[in-house]
């Protein structure tokens, strides 16, 4: 399938999810996750009008950037990052979705020399051991401790749904992330406006949109997985 055709489907599903939940489609940004696909396929996504691209590993991100030269593209790093690799991505990422430890925050802050990196704090809501992210109980303290890092801005919270077919369970996780987002946002912290919600992938983005997602990260259903 052409990316353009998949994009039509994704957009129409997002519009319907917005209708069901009284939201505006323009408040939902589609990010194409290109980690499984070739540079050519990623370029096709850009040519189809998807101007937000994401990779989960820094190697993949740098590789895509070497072939896609388009100033209109916003680059997202959505997977965890090893502290020692931070210097390689500084200045090359617009949004980082996986801030989950102070050591990483410290390293990012140290390496960034100008401006602020837009970060999502990654949350582990479901409590699955295999998942990255901080717990609800740690959130407020974590946000407080980010105050000392002048080059980081917490634009929102991010999570991955648990590995289950049970859509009620998935919905509860997204709903919970929204409540936490609202709570931090309402504290009106200068370095943590926290107005965004990065949640929803190929199998669950419609639920995520119903629950308030402002960024959905879609790989398989948009650009494919091979
Ligand atoms: C791979 C990945 C996605 C996209 O997954 P699909 O199921 O292919 O849509 C979204 N978010 C993160 C963090 C990922 O690693």
Q: How many CB atoms lie within 10 A of CB 163?
A: 11
**pLDDT at residue number 154:** 98
**Higher-pLDDT residue of 53, 131:** 53
**Higher-pLDDT residue of 129, 3:** 3
Confidence of residue 24 (pLDDT cuts 50, 70, 90): very high
| For the chain, domain boundaries | 3-223
**pLDDT at residue number 127:** 83
The distance from CA 47 to its chain's CA centroid, rounded to whole angstroms, is 22
Measured CA to CA, the distance from residue 75 to residue 61 in angstroms comes to 8
Please spell the DSSP secondary structure of 74-108, one letter per residue: EEEE-S---GGGHHHHTTT-SEEEEE--HHHHHHH
Measured CA to CA, the distance from residue 71 to residue 83 in angstroms comes to 27
**pLDDT at residue number 169:** 96
Q: From the CB of 216, is ligand 1 less than 6 Å away?
A: no
Kindly state the greatest CA–CA separation across the chain: 47
**pLDDT at residue number 131:** 82
Ligand 1 centre from 188 Cα, in Å? 30
Confidence of residue 130 (pLDDT cuts 50, 70, 90): confident
Is the per-residue pLDDT at 226 higher than 90?
Answer: no
Confidence of residue 120 (pLDDT cuts 50, 70, 90): very high
**pLDDT at residue number 128:** 82
Is the per-residue pLDDT at 126 higher than 90?
Answer: no
Residue 26 in tokens: 């323009």
Q: From the CB of 54, is ligand 1 less than 6 Å away?
A: no
CA-nearest of 169, 146, 168 to 157 is 146
Fold category of 3-223 in CATH? TIM Barrel (3.20.20)
**Phi/psi-derived region of residue 27, left when phi > 0, alpha when psi is between -120 and 50, beta in every other case:** alpha
Which residue from 219, 220, 226 has its CB within 8 A of the most atoms of ligand 1, so it is best to mutate?
219
The pLDDT tens digits of the residues spanning 41-91 come to: 999 999 999 999 999 999 999 999 999 999 999 999 999 999 999 999 999
Mean predicted confidence (pLDDT) in 177-195 = 98
Q: From the CB of 76, is ligand 1 less than 6 Å away?
A: no
Mean predicted confidence (pLDDT) in 93-114 = 97
User: What is the rounded average pLDDT for all residues in the chain?
Assistant: 97
Q: Kindly give the interhelix angle for 39-47 and 3-21, rounded to the nearest 10 degrees.
A: 60
Do residues 50 and 7 touch, judged by C-beta distance below 8 A? yes
Q: Which atom of ligand 1 is found nearest the CA of 220?
A: 8
Is the per-residue pLDDT at 16 higher than 90?
Answer: yes
């Amino acid at each position: 399938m052409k990316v353009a055709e998949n994009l039509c489907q994704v957009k129409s599903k997002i519009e319907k999810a917005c209708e069901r939940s009284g939201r505006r489609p323009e408040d939902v940004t589609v990010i194409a996750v290109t980690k499984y696909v070739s540079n050519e396929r990623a370029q096709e996504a850009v040519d189809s009008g998807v101007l937000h691209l994401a990779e989960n590993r820094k190697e993949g991100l740098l590789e895509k950037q070497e072939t896609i030269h388009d100033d209109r593209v916003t680059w997202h790093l959505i997977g965890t990052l090893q502290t020692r690799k931070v210097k390689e991505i500084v200045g090359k990422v617009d949004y980082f979705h996986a801030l989950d430890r102070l050591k990483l925050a410290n390293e990012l802050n140290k390496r960034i020399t100008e401006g602020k990196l837009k970060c999502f704090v990654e949350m582990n809501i479901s409590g699955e051991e295999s998942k990255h992210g901080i717990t609800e109980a740690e959130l407020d303290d974590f946000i407080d401790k980010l105050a000392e890092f002048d080059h980081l801005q917490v634009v929102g919270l991010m999570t991955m749904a648990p590995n289950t077919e049970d859509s009620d369970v998935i919905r509860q996780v997204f709903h919970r992330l929204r409540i936490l987002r609202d709570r931090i946002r309402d504290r009106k912290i200068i370095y943590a406006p926290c107005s965004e919600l990065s949640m929803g992938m190929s199998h669950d983005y419609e639920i995520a949109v119903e629950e308030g997602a402002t960024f959905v990260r879609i790989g398989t259903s948009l650009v494919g997985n091979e």
